[in-house]
Chains A and B, each alone.
Chain A
């Protein structure tokens, strides 16, 4: 497999995975926010207004996330067929469970949530909305279990190069899975909250705000900093867990070239390929104790790992970029909260500049998720299953020209769908949502 083919295969897979994860996260975040809104909307009012608007955005992102799952499954087979040969006993059931859970909850509850509100009592509808949120979480749970297992294989044992399931319980609740899920949930809520703030800022530009806008605005302003902090904490926790199982990632993150005790973790430093210390240190402080890990054993340096290390540049910079983006987002969120508090949580009073900042928050949050997931996935890289199965060995032999063809097509299609999603959101924020009615059997 040539380097180009390798990079192309990876890019294709990560593109589909990123697309699906983005909409899955957004859908998950919105599902719980909608549940909260519906719970408060017993007698109509502000929460009901907000619910009516945001349930449409939820339905749209659910459609996108659900549809994006199929290309991912197909690519898993077409690009990395060896993965199922060697680890099919773990990946297969987890993927199957994710599909089945999505199927079950979508069939049973989604239709009732979207189209059956008027025919149901308040309690019944709240229950249905809660079940949809639960279903989204369970689906996301299985996906996270799968991704966490690739990072840290627990609950399975290797027998003659083939993974066998050892314990269903330890597989689905052990290892990095719970942390990764909480991180994903926080990320989803973060995305949903920034989207709510941003769309509210756009909506109230053209017409005076209603009760729903105000309640969403206040909730978003308060929720956002909390979620940023929670996400940072869960990310730190995940990093701490993975330190022990992924020494190569640690070597890349601290930019350690020769074996020995780990270098101090610096906030910002410029990596060099030599072992001699030529960092352009900006923050000289050693943050190692703050991260709460005091390494005793020496770790292998990047020079000695010889092909078993992740791409150091991407791993190194993505970790720092994620920290910087989180900080920036937090800064904006706190400033927005302060400003919003001064305005009495009335979005009408926002100046154009502030609205622009609020709109930029979505892109910031999106960038943060992308960089974070990029770090997680790329840091695992020479391996598909950490420590045992190289991703390169699992790849299919496909000619470069075909890979190029499909990759370009994929970029065009995913790009068009992403732009279309944005256009629909813009239209909805400007003119309100287009009602969708669906009858069984009639057309």
Chain B
């Protein structure tokens, strides 16, 4: 497949102009996936602060504390890499997205600053900072969906695409809330878990709407993508992807239903299922778009910077990767499972 692709471009498979953009796109994809998965529960918990009772908010925020430093990076790294390696796609993508990008910018700023400032503020001043963090999380979650919808509908103007973008914004908000709630179910016992089950139940179906909406619109508004998925050659793979998606949603729904009846077995499973759904969705998107950055217009080779700069970007990545793995991914190694053992009942020496 690699050879045929290279032949299509009139380049050799070992030509740096061919494989370097491909490699950097791979790194970029990894950054995006890491950003959605690892920063995702953070955004989700932030969104849930709006509906959580005040006495639980402090605990929810302190649960996020260990990963904040590492979480902040993904978006910035992705943008830096995108700017350095694919400047040619910058104006056709980012230039069309003023409103959601501004929202994303302000939301991200609020999230990073407010969280750190809340940690350093005295208790009586923490309220506004928590509010800022929650507001930022909602803005980020909404703008992610809005951005994705605009990209998928090829930046079309009009009422229909705008409405679709709004719907996807809401769905993405729900999906992040679902991710956050599922993470909380796994992390913490007690009242927070009971409430998180409720939140997850309410947001799960909106998540399904989002995944379906994105897929359907992408498929039916673009002949190339439709052909890719529906040309009849890989029915097995397509069926498998949709089967897994369906199974994940149904299983998550059933698990949450059981948790309402106080059967807290496999508390990590909902989180795992949501992760699988998100990875499948992102993978599907990547497969649909490849090799285009803007559908049918700009391929990643068109948008790539000259080879000298790609070389620089790759060598920078080679330096950054070990750092990212050693210092940042190491942080995540306790992100699964319960945060701390449940409190023992108070026996107070009567035995």
Measured CB to CB, the residues of A under 8 A from B are 16, 56, 59-60, 63-64, 66-71, 73-79, 81-82, 84-85, 88-89, 91-93, 95-100, 103-104, 106-108, 111, 164-165, 168, 396, 398, 402, 406, 409-410, 413, 416-417, 420-421, 423-424, 427, 431, 433-434, 436, 438-443
Give CA–CA (A431, B240) in the complex, Å.
Answer: 61
Can you give 29 contacting A-B residue pairs, CB < 8 Å?
A16-B105, A63-B112, A63-B113, A64-B113, A66-B72, A67-B108, A70-B109, A77-B95, A78-B94, A81-B90, A92-B84, A92-B90, A92-B305, A93-B84, A96-B81, A96-B84, A97-B84, A103-B320, A103-B324, A106-B69, A111-B69, A165-B308, A406-B98, A409-B106, A410-B106, A424-B125, A434-B119, A441-B333, A442-B339
B105 in complex: contacting residue of A71, A97, A168, CB < 8 Å: A71
B95 in complex: contacting residue of A69, A111, A396, CB < 8 Å: A396
B306 in complex: contacting residue of A59, A78, A165, CB < 8 Å: A165
Q: Which of B47-73 contact A (CB under 8 A)?
A: 62-66, 69, 72-73
Q: Is the CB of B69 within 8 A of A92?
A: no
Residue of B nearest to A19 (CB): B109
Q: Is the CB of A88 within 8 A of B308?
A: no
**What 0/1 readout, one digit per residue, does chain B (94-122) give for beta carbons within 8 Å of chain A?**
11111101101110111011001101111
Report the minimum CB–CB distance from B94 to chain A (whole Å).
Answer: 3
Give CA–CA (A154, B4) in the complex, Å.
Answer: 41
Q: Is the CB of B75 closer than 8 A to any CB of chain A?
A: yes
Q: Is the CB of A77 within 8 A of B75?
A: no
Measured CB to CB, the residues of B under 8 A from A are 62-66, 69, 72-73, 75-77, 79-81, 83-85, 87-88, 90-99, 101-102, 104-106, 108-110, 112-113, 116-117, 119-122, 125, 128-129, 132, 187, 305-306, 308-309, 312-313, 316, 319-320, 323-324, 327-328, 330-331, 333-335, 339-340
Q: Is the CB of B109 within 8 A of A92?
A: no
Q: Is the CB of B334 within 8 A of A77?
A: no
Given contacts A93-B84, A104-B323, contact A423 B125 (CB under 8 A): yes
Give CA–CA (A424, B116) in the complex, Å.
Answer: 11
Q: Is the CB of B116 within 8 A of A60?
A: yes
Give the dominant DSSP class at B's interface: helix
Given the complex, which residues of A lie within 8 Å of B81, measured CB to CB?
96
Given the complex, which residues of A lie within 8 Å of B99, measured CB to CB?
402, 406
Given contacts A96-B316, A442-B66, contact A74 B94 (CB under 8 A): yes
Q: Is the CB of A96 within 8 A of B90?
A: no
Report the minimum CB–CB distance from B155 to chain A (whole Å).
Answer: 12
Given the complex, which residues of B lie within 8 Å of A81, measured CB to CB?
90-92, 94-95
Given contacts A99-B77, A406-B99, A413-B110, contact A84 B66 (CB under 8 A): no
Given contacts A99-B77, A108-B323, A441-B331, contact A417 B109 (CB under 8 A): yes
Give CA–CA (A73, B129) in the complex, Å.
Answer: 24
Q: Is the CB of B69 within 8 A of A89?
A: no
Given the complex, which residues of A lie within 8 Å of B69, measured CB to CB?
106, 111, 438
A421 in complex: contacting residue of B80, B117, B327, B334, CB < 8 Å: B117
Q: Is the CB of A165 within 8 A of B101?
A: no
B323 in complex: contacting residue of A103, A164, A420, CB < 8 Å: A103
Q: Is the CB of B305 within 8 A of A88?
A: yes
Given the complex, which residues of A lie within 8 Å of B98, measured CB to CB?
78-79, 396, 398, 402, 406
Report the minimum CB–CB distance from A276 to chain B (whole Å).
Answer: 45
Given the complex, which residues of A lie within 8 Å of B112, measured CB to CB?
63, 66-67, 70
Given contacts A60-B116, A88-B305, A92-B305, contact A442 B323 (CB under 8 A): no
